[in-house]
Structure 1
Amino acid sequence: MEHKLQWEKLLCGKRERPSTASNNHRNEFDKDYDRIVYSSSIRRLQDKAQVFPLQENDFTRTRLTHSIEVSALAKSLGMSIGEILRKNKEMDEKQERELASLLQVSGLVHDLGNPPFGHYGEQIIRNWFEKEYKKEESILRNIEGIEKTDFTNFDGNAQTFRILTKLQLLNDHNGANFSYATLATIMKYPWDSFNNKCIEHEGKFGYFSSEKDIVGRIRECTGLESGVRHPATFLLEAADDMAYLCADIEDAVKKRIIPWDKEYKKIKDSLKREEYNTYKEMFRKIDENNMIASNNKIPEEDLISVQNFKISAQGLMIRCVVDEFMSKYDYIMNGKYECNELLDNSKAKLLKKELKRLEKSYCYSNKEVLTLELAGDNVINGLLDRFVNELANCSENPEKNIKERFGKLYQLISENFRHVCLYDYQEKSIKDDFTKTKTYDRLLLITDFISGMTDSYAVKLYKELRGIKLP
């Protein structure tokens, strides 16, 4: 069957600036991986929360360890799907390798834009702008339409796209200069913040208005229409689900938040009752490995048991996701797959439901998590108050007014981010004065800075600006 989407275009290695690297053993997506893995954006993830913020122990996962795990699972999915597609003559050997590499790098970078304090940090930023716009004398009153919804719907996915296309500066103004296929794959929500689909998906969107031009070029190159996901995006999202659901529960067991013996039996009973044949072999393998560990007197029985569960559960989910992708292949390749998530429509959907129940019951409602998120609320709101109130409408050049409060705050912002704010991507020139920038660009500068902070740095800067702690 002829499909609307074609892998030859979907695996487009074109970039904003053509690569000058020699054609060696690496494909274009291996090059993407190599150029980002050493970046400051990746390093910052080691001090950004996955579920449990500001952890002092070295076991609990951060965004960095989560991203590494998603990358590994996504690559596995890519290898499995690629092999089947090659055998079905939908791909050649080169494309088979490229799909795995594409998913590997997409998994690594998929959370780069998440602000401090995890997904709750996104909500704090959205709420701050919503409240500010409702004020009678709001300093944001001249921002309307898509420029307004970029902030009231602020999304880490759109920020990831902005980091990769602009903020991760090296030698020019193309950010990390990623391939179009990788940028298309990380667009989990391929529409802007003013699109009706954004409302349907609870405010989720894939790119800011400031990046709409490059999105148009990506679509032209890959053959993707507005609102249509790259097929690899479905696999990336499945890998993300598999990684965080199992890992968050493992972390909670280690922290003694989840009574694992009791909950494992509950999961086992629930799944065996509903889908016995699907899960029978998984539980047999888990119980067998648990018995081996017990006979060998391996300590921390609950931790060993949940790790055996994680390995078997992820293995089952991978097989189910591959089956779902291939059974709906024609729909996916014609941009007609209505179910957003493969896992939700696969034979492992009940397993995912059980894992989400556990996470909601124990992880998100944990007092430590709630307390630190409330602290994060004060931190992010406090930083937005300071920076937006001083810089959004300032009429004097902060670079020449270092003695003024707004000048001091401006100097605290990363020089790279300030440079991007001053750069005119249409005229390809740099403005010589901050007062010549639009309010929209100034707000982007502030959200670039605050969302790029690690959890620890955000707390540190907030305390310093409040005079609670001196530098």
Structure 2
Amino acid sequence: MLWSDLLCAERLRDPGYVEARTRSIFVQDHDRIVFSAPFRRLANKTQVHPLYENDHIHHRLIHSVEVGSVGRSLAMHIGDWLIDEGEIGPHEDHSLANVVQAACAAHDIGNPPFGHSGEASIGGWFAERFDADRGLCGALDPVLRPEFTAFEGNAQGFRIVTRLEMYRNAGGMRLSKAVLGAFMKYPATAATRAALPEPLRRSYAGLKKFGLFAGEEALFAEVAQGCGLPQEQSAAGRWWRRHPLVFVVEAADDICYNIVDLEDAYTAGDLPYDVVRDTLNELAGRPNRDTAGYTRSEHIALLRALAIGRAIDACVAAFQAHYPAIMDGSFSGALVDVSDCGASFARIGTLAQERIFTSRRKTELEISGRQVIRNVLDGVLPVFEALAAAGWDETALAGHPAQIARALGLDLRAIATPEAALHGLADFVSGMTDRYALSVSRMLSGT
């Protein structure tokens, strides 16, 4: 892969666009993302703790901003090294940083309410409907069912930025191909991934999950061609090797959520001060700082900042060490895991699984959130069933389905197949904030 291709500034479905002299196209991409409604809704979506009353606990929007900050720092360090190595030209380190920051801003834009438990709830509901094999779910091509039963926020995010937001069905936000390439963690459809040999799915990070719905595969093919991403073709279908900057975006995400989850766990009372202090102190390299006079919260905040800085340095070094494999598409690790901080991050992951993600309040709210999502899906599905019965004529909707569509402001444009209808349903539910989902659930269930 070549950086001259990887930093492709051509807009998706808008090849004639010329960037302004005073603002690069990658900065414009970032602005389009942060001023969008889906990005704004992240302010009321779960990061780890659902519906939390403490204003200092992270939500998805703050997390996305912080990931962008760390990603920009990573990319500037890497870009500076690439200039020294003669891999990119002068000032292109800024292009790298802007691409990564924009991709980081969008990286969680497709996440549903209640975080990963929300993804599982949506997938579980669809699986039950497909088992019943009736109505719209029964009419869907079985090959497409995994798009819904294993509902994936990454694929939903790509759908939002390339189809649903701004220029609907005409390129979406029309972001640059470089930013879209850096965004795509899993460049394969669900059907293609499922048909590939299991050893390959296990061995290549880009096939850990799927990141594309079938309806957006052609859009990503345009992105991949523009960025020069290697395409793999087999009887199972086509998929692509990751853009090198995906590893940088992923590292920024890994650094932020691992470290900040600890700080949030202390703030929420899920972990005691000494456990969080000692864990962050190890990751920060046991700094010899005078913290006399610090409150416990200030001490944790200091260690969090120092730990992030050390992790950035370690991931930059890991990128440099694995650069040839990253550029030929064969690298399959996570920069955090192969860095000098890998062992510390592994211990944080174990601590989170055992004591943060299983906390009582989080578990109780995830149970409630699961039922909220099921109530919403149960209540809204009849609108799309009625639309199908009306020959996909939105104006022919009547009675209770018409009331629901009107009350919720459902977007029923361009829905004319079972696939489009079920994606329309998933678009609505996954786009909800935690609080709006709870409100709609109460309305639909009459409570």
Question: Do they superpose with TM above 0.5?
Answer: yes
Which of 91, 100, 103 in structure 2 is aligned with 1:103? Answer: 100
When residues 234 and 146 of structure 1 are mapped into structure 2, their CA distance, relative to the original with a 3 A threshold, is farther
Asked if 1 retains the 8 angstrom alpha-carbon contact of 2:136 and 2:418, the reply is: no
Which of 199, 202, 209 in structure 2 is aligned with 1:204? Answer: 209
Number of the residue aligned with 1:408: 403
Paired residue type of 1:9: D
Asked if 1 retains the 8 angstrom alpha-carbon contact of 2:47 and 2:115, the reply is: yes
Number of the residue aligned with 1:453: 432
Asked if 1 retains the 8 angstrom alpha-carbon contact of 2:162 and 2:174, the reply is: yes
Number of the residue aligned with 2:381: 388
Paired residue type of 1:222: C
When residues 399 and 24 of structure 1 are mapped into structure 2, their CA distance, relative to the original with a 3 A threshold, is same
1:21 shift after superposition = 5.5
Which of 4, 8, 25 in structure 1 is aligned with 2:4? Answer: 8
Give the distance between the partners of 1:168 and 1:227, measured in 2 at CA.
25
The 5-angstrom pairing of residues 121-136 of structure 1 reads 121-135=118-132
1:414 shift after superposition = 4.4
Asked if 2 retains the 8 angstrom alpha-carbon contact of 1:399 and 1:410, the reply is: no
Number of the residue aligned with 1:313: 307
Give the distance between the partners of 1:211 and 1:25, measured in 2 at CA.
32
Asked if 2 retains the 8 angstrom alpha-carbon contact of 1:398 and 1:410, the reply is: no
The SS at the match of 1:71 is helix
Cα deviation code 1:371-406 (max 9, x no counterpart):
111111001111112222441463115633554122
Asked if 1 retains the 8 angstrom alpha-carbon contact of 2:163 and 2:169, the reply is: no
When residues 354 and 230 of structure 1 are mapped into structure 2, their CA distance, relative to the original with a 3 A threshold, is same
1:91 shift after superposition = 0.4
Number of the residue aligned with 1:218: 223
Asked if 1 retains the 8 angstrom alpha-carbon contact of 2:67 and 2:252, the reply is: yes
Which of 337, 347, 351 in structure 2 is aligned with 1:358? Answer: 351
Asked if 1 retains the 8 angstrom alpha-carbon contact of 2:337 and 2:345, the reply is: yes
Asked if 2 retains the 8 angstrom alpha-carbon contact of 1:10 and 1:230, the reply is: yes
Number of the residue aligned with 1:142: 139
Cα deviation code 1:410-435 (max 9, x no counterpart):
334546x433xx1xxxxxxxxxxx5x
Paired residue type of 1:293: T
Paired residue type of 1:239: A
1:184 shift after superposition = 1.1
1:467 shift after superposition = 1.1
Number of the residue aligned with 2:328: 334
When residues 124 and 373 of structure 1 are mapped into structure 2, their CA distance, relative to the original with a 3 A threshold, is same
Give the distance between the partners of 1:307 and 1:414, measured in 2 at CA.
42
When residues 414 and 32 of structure 1 are mapped into structure 2, their CA distance, relative to the original with a 3 A threshold, is farther
Cα deviation code 1:179-199 (max 9, x no counterpart):
111111111011111123687
Which range moved further: 125-134 or 327-336?
Answer: 125-134
Number of the residue aligned with 2:31: 34
Asked if 1 retains the 8 angstrom alpha-carbon contact of 2:276 and 2:300, the reply is: no
Asked if 2 retains the 8 angstrom alpha-carbon contact of 1:267 and 1:354, the reply is: no
- 1:282 counterpart = 2:299: no
Which range moved further: 130-139 or 180-189?
Answer: 130-139
> What 5-or-longer segments of structure 2 have no aligned partner?
232-238
Number of the residue aligned with 1:256: 269
When residues 23 and 169 of structure 1 are mapped into structure 2, their CA distance, relative to the original with a 3 A threshold, is closer
State the TM-score, normalized to the length of structure 2.
0.90
Give the distance between the partners of 1:408 and 1:203, measured in 2 at CA.
41
Give the distance between the partners of 1:228 and 1:315, measured in 2 at CA.
29
When residues 110 and 265 of structure 1 are mapped into structure 2, their CA distance, relative to the original with a 3 A threshold, is closer
- 1:151 counterpart = 2:145: no
Give the distance between the partners of 1:98 and 1:167, measured in 2 at CA.
26
Paired residue type of 1:346: S
Which of 417, 430, 436 in structure 2 is aligned with 1:438? Answer: 417
1:336 shift after superposition = 0.8
Asked if 1 retains the 8 angstrom alpha-carbon contact of 2:112 and 2:118, the reply is: yes
Give the distance between the partners of 1:266 and 1:159, measured in 2 at CA.
34
Give the distance between the partners of 1:337 and 1:284, measured in 2 at CA.
32
When residues 194 and 172 of structure 1 are mapped into structure 2, their CA distance, relative to the original with a 3 A threshold, is closer
Give the distance between the partners of 2:134 and 2:41, measured in 1 at CA.
36
Q: Identity over aligned residues, as a percent?
A: 31
- 1:86 counterpart = 2:83: yes
When residues 17 and 84 of structure 1 are mapped into structure 2, their CA distance, relative to the original with a 3 A threshold, is same
Number of the residue aligned with 1:465: 444
- 1:177 counterpart = 2:174: yes
Give the distance between the partners of 1:460 and 1:203, measured in 2 at CA.
34
Number of the residue aligned with 1:275: none
Number of the residue aligned with 1:369: 362
Cα deviation code 1:40-96 (max 9, x no counterpart):
111101000100111222111110000000000000000000000001100012422
The SS at the match of 1:195 is helix
The 5-angstrom pairing of residues 154-165 of structure 1 reads 154-165=151-162
Asked if 2 retains the 8 angstrom alpha-carbon contact of 1:231 and 1:332, the reply is: yes
When residues 408 and 398 of structure 1 are mapped into structure 2, their CA distance, relative to the original with a 3 A threshold, is farther
Number of the residue aligned with 2:236: none
When residues 64 and 324 of structure 1 are mapped into structure 2, their CA distance, relative to the original with a 3 A threshold, is same
The SS at the match of 1:418 is coil
Asked if 2 retains the 8 angstrom alpha-carbon contact of 1:82 and 1:99, the reply is: yes
Structure whose CA Rg is larger: 1
Cα deviation code 1:306-335 (max 9, x no counterpart):
212211211111111111111110011000
Number of the residue aligned with 1:426: none
Which of 110, 113, 118 in structure 2 is aligned with 1:116? Answer: 113
Give the distance between the partners of 1:145 and 1:402, measured in 2 at CA.
27
Give the distance between the partners of 1:454 and 1:166, measured in 2 at CA.
20
The SS at the match of 2:190 is coil
Number of the residue aligned with 2:234: none
When residues 182 and 262 of structure 1 are mapped into structure 2, their CA distance, relative to the original with a 3 A threshold, is closer
When residues 19 and 366 of structure 1 are mapped into structure 2, their CA distance, relative to the original with a 3 A threshold, is farther
When residues 165 and 196 of structure 1 are mapped into structure 2, their CA distance, relative to the original with a 3 A threshold, is closer
Give the distance between the partners of 1:221 and 1:145, measured in 2 at CA.
32
Asked if 2 retains the 8 angstrom alpha-carbon contact of 1:153 and 1:204, the reply is: no
